[in-house]
Structures are given as C-alpha cells and as structure tokens.
C-alpha cells in the first residue's frame, strides 16, 4: 500500500508541475495592444445656432462626427461652425469644424479633462453631429 501512495503522490506532483508550465506559456503568449475605445457622449441635430448642454470628459479626447445638409436654400452659401467650449469659464477651447455648404467628416478635440459644451453657428444648412469620448485601453489577446 505504501508503494501505491508514493506512486500516486509522484503522479500528482508531475501533473501539477506540467499544468503550471502550460499556464506560464499561455501568459507569455498573451499580447497586449493599445487601443482607443469610444464612448458616446451625445448627439444633436437642427438648423441655425445652438448650444448643447454641458458634458464631462475624463480624458479630454473627443471624436466628433458631423454632417451638413441642404435646408432647401442654396447649400453653397450656407455655413457651419462647431466649437468646443469650457463649461466652467465659457471660453473657446477649440474650433472643431468650419465648412461652407454640405459635407460630412470626423474631427477630433484634444484637451485636458474638462467639462465641455459645444456651440453651433449655422446659416442655411441643416446639421447633425455626435460626440464620443476616447478612453485609452489595452486589449490583451492570447493563443489557445
């Protein structure tokens, strides 16, 4: 009986060492890749001038997707300007977009973490835009 117990103990020890070795290989094979994850802050649409409600960005990195459309008048004469402001002081932090006529695009705001609001100045165009906050993250992937 003693020999059987010793043999079982040796087999259990060998299994434990082998399992630990496999786990280390999995961890070593895992690779991390820096990536930006975008969280929706809000979206707005309309025509004419407008000021959004304030919103907080903990990163200060914003992605703005915008589009201008003809409001039934001559779209070539219409203008659209979108500006990021400090909701604390009201000062202009960054002009995000300034275009004439219809169009669309993606622009970025890069500031310190802040409480923001956006102001729209528009004439002769319908517009819409959305704001997303960028959050830095690392995606870890491993082979299995």
Select the more confidently predicted residue: 70 or 108.
108
Give residue-wise pLDDT tens across range 8-32: 444 444 444 455 554 445 544 567 7
The three-state secondary structure class of 118 is strand
**CB atoms < 10 A from the CB of 3, how many?**
7
Share of the chain above pLDDT 90, in %: 64
Give the residue-averaged pLDDT of 91-115.
96
3-class SS of residue 73? coil
Distance, CA of 39 to CA of 45 (rounded, Å): 19
pLDDT of residue 138: 86
CB-CB contact of 88 with 119 (8 Å): no
Mean pLDDT, the chain, integer: 83
Instruction: Tell me what percent of the residues of the chain surpass a pLDDT of 70.
Output: 74
**How far apart (Å, rounded) are the C-alpha atoms in residues 66 and 45?**
10
Question: What would the mean pLDDT of 97-117 be, rounded to a whole number?
Answer: 96
Between 45-49, 117-121, 124-128, 139-143, the lowest mean confidence (pLDDT) is in: 139-143
């Amino acid at each position: 009986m003693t020999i059987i117990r010793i043999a079982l103990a040796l087999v259990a020890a060998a299994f434990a060492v082998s399992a630990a070795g496999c786990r280390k290989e999995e961890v070593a094979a895992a690779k991390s890749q820096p990536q930006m994850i975008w969280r929706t802050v809000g979206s707005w649409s309309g025509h004419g001038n407008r000021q959004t409600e304030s919103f907080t960005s903990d990163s200060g990195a914003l992605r703005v997707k915008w589009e201008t459309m003809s409001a039934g008048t001559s779209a070539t004469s219409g203008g659209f300007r979108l500006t990021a402001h400090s909701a604390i002081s009201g000062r202009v932090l960054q002009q995000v977009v300034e275009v004439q006529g219809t169009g669309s695009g993606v622009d970025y705001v890069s500031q310190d973490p802040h409480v923001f609001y956006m102001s729209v100045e528009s004439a002769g165009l319908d517009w819409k835009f959305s704001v997303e906050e960028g959050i830095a993250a690392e995606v870890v992937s491993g082979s299995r």
